[in-house]
Structure 1
Amino acid sequence: MKAATVKLITNDHEIDEMTIQTSQSFTLKKEQQKWMTSDSEFAVDQEVITTALQAITALEGKPIDVEKKDVGLDFPKIMLKLKSLGKEALELTIGDLTKDKTKYYVEDRTNQAIYLVERSLMETFPYNPQSYLENAILSLAADRIEQININNGTETIELTAKPPFTEEETKASVTGWFIHAPYQGYYQTAYTKMSAILYGIDQLQMTALIEKNPTDLEKYGLADTDFTIAFKAGNKTETIKIGNPAAEGNYYAKLADKPSVFTINTELLNLFSYPAKQMHDGYIKMLALDTLNQLVVKTTDETFTVDISHRRNNEGEMTSKFVMNDNAINDKTFREAYQRVAGLKAAGLIKEPVKGEPKITIQYDVQVAGHQEKQVKIELFAYNDAHYAIYVDGVGDFVVRKDELDQMITALRALK
């Protein structure tokens, strides 16, 4: 006979105290209808604690007869203590996951029973004390931020989710974010670095509130700092100023328009400290092939024109046709050649002005909304023995290797 599922907390009274015991103890108490804590200088987020209690009071599991030492309950890493009207309502310890990773072994120490509780129920509850505190640095919602400006004292970096491109031109971008400054043009960001930054925005929290109304910002390195991070959403901008190193792996910081000095974790700041070169994914202009109507590549003595058409079947799947000189090109062969064209990568910065006419031009005809067409033009100028200077729609920042262009031309010749 299978064991019946039972609720872990049956106390009819309202919970008014909760302690989370991990590597340290964190206690929340309800006083005059408001949750508070003496374990932090930050106020408690009332909405978070309300949601957490709803999750914990919804816990249910099936009794199981096992030895505590066999399921991680002899020395548990997490303990929850709940009180109601000053009396213990529930004390839970959390052990190992089951072998199939779907349930946790949970001990109700109050009633001396062990249960199997669904993993999804246990992981709904926030165990990190920081989750309960109103210590967020920004008031801007992370998913609303559309521009980040980082001045790290060495260079100014502008990251934007609103580049001056059509939607079709940004289709190949994995992150949807582009790096502008310190460059003149707009270039795709590196996935790993940009993803880390977007994750970091959600984690921007004060580790400690140092001084609410400081009279001497100099001692924190905040009187004239050269490290700032500005976040923009719509017409609102919030800027964090970073000062001197503080204790326990933190830095002093403050918001530009508010007086309070706080600390911020160094590892979190490191996410915003990458140089521009690492923020760029390296590609000059990556366009999705299914947005193109035509590709024209010209050298001083050759022209390669590929006409491209697309069609969707009844299932919504797109097929493409590639034609050069009235001859159809094998799909796989052209896609491999196109990687040579679209995959041109930066090999350094343009440091000297270019002269003369371009040696190679690449023109994309992009199908944009409203059955319109936009031309994107890339020009490559002689720069030195090993490189061309490359310009996109008249804007140039980088040089590319000549041998990459040689390989591109060879791949295009093979299509004839």
Structure 2
Amino acid sequence: MAEALVMRGLRSFLVLLVVAAGLGAYLYFVESKREPGDAKKNEKVFAGVESDKIDRVSVKSDKGETTTVEKKSDKWQQTQPATVEADGAELSGIVSNLASLEVQRVVDEQATDFKQYGLDPARIEVAFKAGGQDRRLLIGQKTPSGTDLYAKVPDKPRVFLISSYLESTFNKTAFDLRDKTVIRIDHDKIDSLDITSADRAVKLAKSGSDWRVKAPVDARADFGAVDGIIGRLNTAQMKAIAAPNPTDLKEYGLDKPSLTVTLGSGSSQAGLAIGKAAAEGTTYARDLSRPMVFTIENALVDELKKPADDFRVKDIFDARAFNTTRVEAVRNGQTVAFEKAGEKWKQVAPAAKDADATKVDALLSALTGARASGFVDKTTALDKPELAVTMKYEDGKKQERVVFGRQGSDAFARRDGDVGAAKIDAATLEGIIKALDALK
């Protein structure tokens, strides 16, 4: 009996194998001969409409709010309910999707009861003008599966389906479609940034391509940190409009702002005032060139509250191991110096001789890897430095000198010309001295 069961299972397997082989042969011989493009393409809802020809859009959202936007001189302007600049990115999404909109499936060619589809009245309406011709799209409920939306055009009884993800594209309010820029600036032209509050003032200024902290101390600024905060301000978006024309700024904490940001570009300036906390993780704010009060996300406010030290360069040396051509160290009254000649390193003081390139590279790595963990205004650690290092880099065109010292278990470094000192890891200083001793 067991043998019979085995044979029966084997026959079933062979039958399935034959069926699979037949199906594979069909797919190979039939599908491989099918011409590309044989697959039926979905019908366009608005055939012949090109996105760049659409110059007027009117959206009635599911909240019953109607917003009209018109293109003027290649820029979108909201004309209803108020005349303000429009959000170009939002409008680009709407017009491109109108031009490419496809019928996923026809539900009823001759529908008479539109209410069952949420189309009488339509839940969302999008009217637009393209090439002088007015068009309109009516959008109803989602299908039971939630993957599509019922839709139609006004002059035909046909009800069809469009993809449900388009609801977020077409269902827009006046706020969604307006320009929500927090502060208007030209990122690349900003040359100063001041952040002022009751207890601090951070001033940053650009000199050539480099940024410097000007207050509370004069120090090198981290280009990435400064450029990053300017970029955040440049791209920041309002979360909501609290008052288009407020009569009392005190209500929003803007009569005496908790924080004021001033961005300079030559002789022109732009300002942003930060008020008190609003709802749902936002804060009241105002562009000083406009009357309206709006809200911004707290994350931006937190970035603006960063201490001045966060904008300072943490690297002790600007030089890098690969572009350094000379390094000189003074310790315990003794000077040792190394210079690069071609691809080789030579000791030039106290006596001239070949140097171990691997060991010099280890010293350079230890020096250029030194970073500040914080900054102090004063310290006695550098009154009598334990070590002074001078480095030349970029073919000797640039030079920098740094002194190192200790105070108790803490280690410090100070660049020539800097105020105060940088606190560094004690192990970092130990590593520099160890690498220097290895070259003896």
TM-score, scaled to structure 2: 0.64
Structure 2 distance, partners of 1:410, 1:291, is 22
The reply on whether 1:82 has 2:126 as its aligned counterpart is yes
What is the DSSP-based 3-state SS (H/G/I as helix, E as strand, rest coil) of the residue aligned with 1:29? strand
Question: C-alpha displacement at 1:83, in angstroms?
Answer: 2.2
Conserved 8 A contact 1:299-1:360 = yes
Question: Which 10-residue stretch deviates more, 3-12 or 220-229?
Answer: 3-12
49 and 253 in structure 1: CA distance in 2 versus 1, 3 angstrom threshold: closer
307 and 342 in structure 1: CA distance in 2 versus 1, 3 angstrom threshold: same
Conserved 8 A contact 1:187-1:283 = no
The reply on whether 1:181 has 2:181 as its aligned counterpart is no
Structure 1 distance, partners of 2:283, 2:180, is 15
Structure 2 distance, partners of 1:293, 1:347, is 27
Letter in 1 for 2:59: M
Conserved 8 A contact 1:293-1:365 = yes
Conserved 8 A contact 2:356-2:439 = no
Q: Which structure has more helix as a fraction of its residues?
A: 2
Structure 2 distance, partners of 1:184, 1:409, is 29
415 and 31 in structure 1: CA distance in 2 versus 1, 3 angstrom threshold: closer
Counterpart residue number, 2:191: 146
Q: Which string of whole-angstrom CA distances, capped at 9 and with x for unpartnered residues, describes residues 271-307 of structure 1?
A: 2122234444633334333432222222224444332
What is the DSSP-based 3-state SS (H/G/I as helix, E as strand, rest coil) of the residue aligned with 2:319? coil
Tell me how many residue pairs correspond in the alignment.
359
Counterpart residue number, 1:9: 46
Aligned Cα root-mean-square deviation (Å): 4.5
Structure 2 distance, partners of 1:44, 1:281, is 39
Structure 2 distance, partners of 1:254, 1:264, is 8
The reply on whether 1:327 has 2:355 as its aligned counterpart is yes
Letter in 2 for 1:392: R
What is the DSSP-based 3-state SS (H/G/I as helix, E as strand, rest coil) of the residue aligned with 1:341? helix
Structure 2: unaligned runs, 5 residues or longer: 1-37, 107-122, 153-158, 348-352
Conserved 8 A contact 2:142-2:149 = yes
351 and 46 in structure 1: CA distance in 2 versus 1, 3 angstrom threshold: closer
What is the DSSP-based 3-state SS (H/G/I as helix, E as strand, rest coil) of the residue aligned with 2:430? helix
Conserved 8 A contact 1:329-1:415 = no
233 and 309 in structure 1: CA distance in 2 versus 1, 3 angstrom threshold: farther
Structure 1 residue corresponding to 2:79, chosen from 36, 40, 51: 36
What is the DSSP-based 3-state SS (H/G/I as helix, E as strand, rest coil) of the residue aligned with 2:84? coil
What is the DSSP-based 3-state SS (H/G/I as helix, E as strand, rest coil) of the residue aligned with 1:254? strand
The reply on whether 1:396 has 2:381 as its aligned counterpart is no
Structure 1: unaligned runs, 5 residues or longer: 66-78, 96-104, 171-176, 311-319
Letter in 1 for 2:222: Q
What is the DSSP-based 3-state SS (H/G/I as helix, E as strand, rest coil) of the residue aligned with 2:40? coil
Counterpart residue number, 1:298: 330
17 and 143 in structure 1: CA distance in 2 versus 1, 3 angstrom threshold: same
What is the DSSP-based 3-state SS (H/G/I as helix, E as strand, rest coil) of the residue aligned with 2:435? helix
What is the DSSP-based 3-state SS (H/G/I as helix, E as strand, rest coil) of the residue aligned with 2:376? coil
Structure 2 distance, partners of 1:273, 1:159, is 14
Letter in 1 for 2:238: Q
126 and 25 in structure 1: CA distance in 2 versus 1, 3 angstrom threshold: closer
Question: C-alpha displacement at 1:392, in angstroms?
Answer: 1.4
Question: C-alpha displacement at 1:186, in angstroms?
Answer: 1.1
Paired residues for 1:308-347 under 5 Å: 308=340, 322-324=345-347, 325-330=353-358, 334-347=360-373
27 and 259 in structure 1: CA distance in 2 versus 1, 3 angstrom threshold: closer
Structure 1 distance, partners of 2:89, 2:370, is 48
Structure 1 residue corresponding to 2:408, chosen from 366, 369, 385: 385
Structure 1 distance, partners of 2:390, 2:142, is 61
Conserved 8 A contact 1:244-1:252 = yes
Conserved 8 A contact 1:286-1:343 = no
Structure number with greater CO (CA < 8 Å, separation at least 6) is: 1
323 and 153 in structure 1: CA distance in 2 versus 1, 3 angstrom threshold: farther
Letter in 1 for 2:127: K
Counterpart residue number, 1:45: 86
Q: Which string of whole-angstrom CA distances, capped at 9 and with x for unpartnered residues, describes residues 232-287 of structure 1?
A: 2233221212223334544333344x462412224232221222344446333343
Q: Which string of whole-angstrom CA distances, capped at 9 and with x for unpartnered residues, describes residues 136-170 of structure 1?
A: 2323123332332212333222345x357xx7xx7
Counterpart residue number, 1:314: none
Question: C-alpha displacement at 1:373, in angstroms?
Answer: 1.1
84 and 217 in structure 1: CA distance in 2 versus 1, 3 angstrom threshold: closer
The reply on whether 1:59 has 2:83 as its aligned counterpart is no
Question: C-alpha displacement at 1:329, in angstroms?
Answer: 0.9
What is the DSSP-based 3-state SS (H/G/I as helix, E as strand, rest coil) of the residue aligned with 1:395? coil
Letter in 1 for 2:414: Y
408 and 2 in structure 1: CA distance in 2 versus 1, 3 angstrom threshold: same
Paired residues for 1:268-307 under 5 Å: 268-280=300-312, 282-307=314-339
309 and 236 in structure 1: CA distance in 2 versus 1, 3 angstrom threshold: farther
Question: C-alpha displacement at 1:231, in angstroms?
Answer: 1.3
TM-score, scaled to structure 1: 0.67
Paired residues for 1:213-224 under 5 Å: 214=247, 216-224=248-256
